């Protein structure tokens, strides 16, 4: 077979190829590799087990300014974020850690404390893991959760006319990374989005129990990429309103020299680990009452694709781009 570097195709096409190899599932596996943020397993009469894994590395995930405690926190948080995406309650987290042999013992302990504190914050715990020697600090987390069957939320289920909502702010983690990489002073409130992401477990469980949400996922790779994933799974399109994107005031100030950049950060940079979800129109009022949730647009027919209306009324296509692993080379 002809040699094709993985960087030529990128993360998502590779996931499709791999998931296709794993597509045959035994009874009891409701969702396997590929279609959603977690696998879903039928374990008992009333609830599903959801499981996810996510690998993080020194070079690509932990900015040098990140403390070892924050490294641990983030490693648990990104996995719990995928549990939240299903509307589930966390059951436990495992952490496989690859360490360079010259790592300070105190540094490793701080990583563990960060993981513990994040798990504790969401009423769960680190219940196992593994330690290996590795050239680059690498942490591969696995999180488990449970969800009442009727409350499971997946990427499939959005209907035309539903409202699109997100938790928290959009683009804060991207702005923080931009500030760190360009030696720009950013307030702690902005840096925290990148260095200490908050998995939206509590919001997700409330949303799942209300029954108004029709589809959900997390925004780890950015709002745009997430909408393309929801679009594929639910067979719908989306129309966003630029003025409704929830921008953190400190981020607006930080990026005030370039407002276009601000909006593209909100859509394309990723790393926010917020939830994006669709809500039946009759439920939107109740959902917005939960707080820290913004309505950013509406579900439209799939043929209408994914677009955004700017403040001046013009409508632009939202590009299919976001944070993507493997893509280091030009892969046009
Ligand atoms: N190597 C792999 N083998 C099997 N399934 C995989 C593999 N890599 C990814 N997947 C599956 O593909 C889907 C998307 O994976 P991905 O890691 O992008 O998860 P995500 O929740 O969308 O993103 P993030 O990792 O940013 O939270 C999931 O269902 C995941 O289990
Ligand atoms: C040094 C450094 N560079 C970039 C980023 C941004 N970043 C890392 S992972 C991720 C999204 C999901 O990844 P995955 O698909 O692996 O879950 C994003 C936006 C960072 N945190 N640190
Ligand atoms: Mg996810």
Which residues of the chain are under the pLDDT cut of 70? 327-332
Distance CA 104, CA 216 (A): 40
| The pLDDT of residue 332 | 37
Pocket lining: 16 vs ligand 2, CB cutoff 6 Å: no
| The pLDDT of residue 328 | 56
pLDDT (tens digit per residue) in 112-158: 999 999 999 999 999 999 999 999 999 999 999 999 999 999 999 99
Name 2's Cβ contacts closer than 8 Å, sequence gap at least 6. none
Architecture of domain 154-317: Alpha-Beta Complex (3.90)
Distance CA 198, CA 329 (A): 31
Distances (CA, A) of 188 to 12, 77, 191: 33, 18, 5
Around ion ligand 3, which residues have CB less than 5 A away? Answer: 37, 82, 218, 220
At residue 17, the 3 state secondary structure works out as helix
Where are the domain boundaries for CATH 3.30.1330.10 in the chain?
6-150
| The pLDDT of residue 331 | 36
Count how many residues are written for the chain.
332
Kindly report the CA angle at 129 between 276 and 81, in degrees rounded to 5? 5
Complex ipTM: 0.97
Pocket lining: 66 vs ligand 2, CB cutoff 6 Å: no
DSSP sequence for 165-232: EEES-SSHHHHHHHHHHTT----HHHHHHHHS----HHHHHHHHHHS-EEEEEE-TT-HHHHHHHHHH
Q: Which residues pair with 95 in a beta bridge?
A: 129, 141
- To the nearest 10 degrees (0 to 180), the angle between helices 68-85 and 105-121 is 30
- CATH number attached to the domain at 6-150: 3.30.1330.10
Where are the domain boundaries for CATH 3.90.650.10 in the chain?
154-317
- pLDDT above 70: percentage of residues in the chain: 98
Backbone angles phi, psi at 53, to 5 degrees: -140, 145
Centroid of ligand 2 to alpha carbon of 252 (angstroms): 22
């Amino acid at each position: 077979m002809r040699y094709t570097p993985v960087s030529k195709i990128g993360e998502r096409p590779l996931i499709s190829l791999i998931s296709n190899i794993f597509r045959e599932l035994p009874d009891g596996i409701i969702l396997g590799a590929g279609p959603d943020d977690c696998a879903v397993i039928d374990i008992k009469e009333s609830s599903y087990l959801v499981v996810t894994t996510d690998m993080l590395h020194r070079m690509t995930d932990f900015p040098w300014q990140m403390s070892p405690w924050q490294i641990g926190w983030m490693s648990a948080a990104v996995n719990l974020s995928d549990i939240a995406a299903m509307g589930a309650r966390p059951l436990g987290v495992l952490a496989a850690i690859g360490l360079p042999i010259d790592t300070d013992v105190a540094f490793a302990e701080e990583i563990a404390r960060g993981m513990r504190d994040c798990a504790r914050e969401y009423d769960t715990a680190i219940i196992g893991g593994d330690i290996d020697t590795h050239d680059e600090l690498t942490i591969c987390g696995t999180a488990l959760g449970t969800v009442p069957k009727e409350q499971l939320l997946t990427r499939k289920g959005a209907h035309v006319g539903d409202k699109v909502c997100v938790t928290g702010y959009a683009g804060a983690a991207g702005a923080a990374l931009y500030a760190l990489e360009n030696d720009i002073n950013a307030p702690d409130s902005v840096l925290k989005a990148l260095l200490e992401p908050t998995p939206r477990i509590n919001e997700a469980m409330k949303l799942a129990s209300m029954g108004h949400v029709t589809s959900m996922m997390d925004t780890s790779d950015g709002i745009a990429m997430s909408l393309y994933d929801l679009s594929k799974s639910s067979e719908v399109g989306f129309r966003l309103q630029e003025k409704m994107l929830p921008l953190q005031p400190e981020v607006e100030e930080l990026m005030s020299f370039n407002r276009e950049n601000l909006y593209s950060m909100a859509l394309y940079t990723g790393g926010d680990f917020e939830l994006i979800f669709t809500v039946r129109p009759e439920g939107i009022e109740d959902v917005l009452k939960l707080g820290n949730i913004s309505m950013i647009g509406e579900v439209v027919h799939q043929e209408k694709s994914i677009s955004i209306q700017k403040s001046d009324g013009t409508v632009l296509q939202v590009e299919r781009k976001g944070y993507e692993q493997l893509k280091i080379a030009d892969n046009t």
